[in-house]
Amino acid sequence: MARRPLVVGNWKMNGTRASSQKLVADILAGLPGNSPVEVGVCPPAVFIPEIAQSLAGKSVRLGAQNVADQDEGAYTGEVSAPMLREFNVSLAIVGHSERRALYGETDALVASRYAKAIGHGLTPILCVGETLEERESDATFAVIDKQLGAVLDLSGVESLKQAVIAYEPVWAIGTGRTASTEQAQEVHGYIRGKIAALNAEVADGLQILYGGSVKPDNAVALFGQPDVDGGLIGGASLDAKSFLAICLSA
Ligand code: 13P
């Protein structure tokens, strides 16, 4: 099956109301009409309502950087899937390594967030990836198994029909040190193989994105790998020109 490439910008905690509006306008202006590549942006939550207006009727998908593991109630600081749905949000990153490392999110919590996204019709972008220490101690696949396993145990392999996986080696995020094409393909192939052992059809249709210092000059080679179906872009997604160049590489 030919999988449609997907490129998503994760703006993280950057920008202002004005700069985020300009960024999205520049992206819309620069994307070709019937782009074969699916494109998404994940602004800071507070900018979502305005960006949703700019994206109304457009093909660029709107995403959130996280989603609550509950629908409503006394969960200070969280934003739920039903709230996001009110603003036409269709993607939600879960398990980003910054959430795991800086805010203590466990595999179990990430799996619950993922399940809520699925339950409310959002497409979760499940981030997985190892630290440098884990890679150097040959634990990469074990880490992926554990991170993916928590989600599969709770939501089942069929849920991946409605999800995207992003392989983001922690040591490549924001460091300028990208995984080599071989390193990326090796892990992407491993993930697809693992899913295929459970359900070949789901594995075949699953978009697996690479994230970690993707730039216009390395995107073509990374996206050219057989199991790399696009990217989750941090720093380079804050500049419309770079982001568009990456989108056109997919
Ligand atoms: P960078 O592209 O800045 O390395 O960030 C990648 C990332 O974390 C996307 O979610």
Integer Cα distance of 82 and 228 in angstroms:
31
Q: Does residue 176 carry a pLDDT above 90?
A: no
- Regarding the beta carbon of 94 and ligand 1, being less than 6 Å apart is answered no
In single-letter form, the type of residue at position 116 comes to K
| Residue positions annotated with a catalytic role | 96, 168
212 C-beta closer than 6 A to ligand 1 = yes
- State the average pLDDT over residues 194-201: 98
User: What is the rounded distance in angstroms from the CA atom of residue 149 to the CA atom of residue 108?
Assistant: 10
What confidence tens digit (pLDDT) does each residue in 53-62 have?
Answer: 999 999 999 9
CA 97 – ligand 1 centroid, Å: 10
How many Å apart are CA 68 and CA 65, to the nearest integer? 11
Specify the residue with its C-alpha closest to ligand 1, atom 1.
234
- Say how far apart CA 209 and CA 175 lie, in whole Å: 18
The number of residues in the chain equals 250
Picking from 249, 211, 228, the residue whose alpha carbon sits closest to that of residue 98 is 211
110-122: per-residue pLDDT in tens?
999 999 999 999 9
Q: Is residue 192 exposed (0-12), middle (13-18) or buried (19+ Cβ within 10 Å)?
A: buried
For a pocket test of ligand 1, which of 131, 173, 217, 249 has the largest count of ligand atoms closer than 8 A to its C-beta? 173
Alpha-carbon gap, residue 85 to 48, rounded angstroms: 11
Q: How far is residue 70's CA from residue 82's CA, in Å, rounded to a whole number?
A: 10
CATH class of 6-249: alpha beta
What residues does each domain of the chain span? Answer: 6-249
Q: Using CA atoms, how far apart are residues 235 and 24, in angstroms rounded to an integer?
A: 15
Contact between residue 164 and residue 151 where contact means Cβ atoms under 8 Å apart: no
User: Please, which pLDDT band fits residue 215 given cuts at 50, 70 and 90?
Assistant: very high
* R_g over Cα of the chain: 17
Residue of the CA atom closest to atom 7 of ligand 1: 234
Chain centroid offset of residue 88 CA: 17
pLDDT of residue 1: 56
Question: Strand locations in the chain, DSSP E?
Answer: 6-10, 38-42, 61-64, 91-94, 123-128, 164-167, 207-211, 230-233
Mean pLDDT across the chain, nearest whole number? Answer: 97
Strand 207-211 relative to strand 123-128, pairing: unpaired
User: Helix or strand or coil: residue 67?
Assistant: coil
pTM for the structure as a whole: 0.98
pLDDT grade for 2, boundaries at 50, 70 and 90: confident
Mutation pick for ligand 1 pocket among 14, 41, 214, 237 (CB with most ligand atoms within 8 Å): 214
Mutational test site, ligand 1, from 6, 7, 10, 175, max ligand atoms within 8 Å of CB: 10
How far, in Å, is the centroid of ligand 1 from the Cα of 73? 31
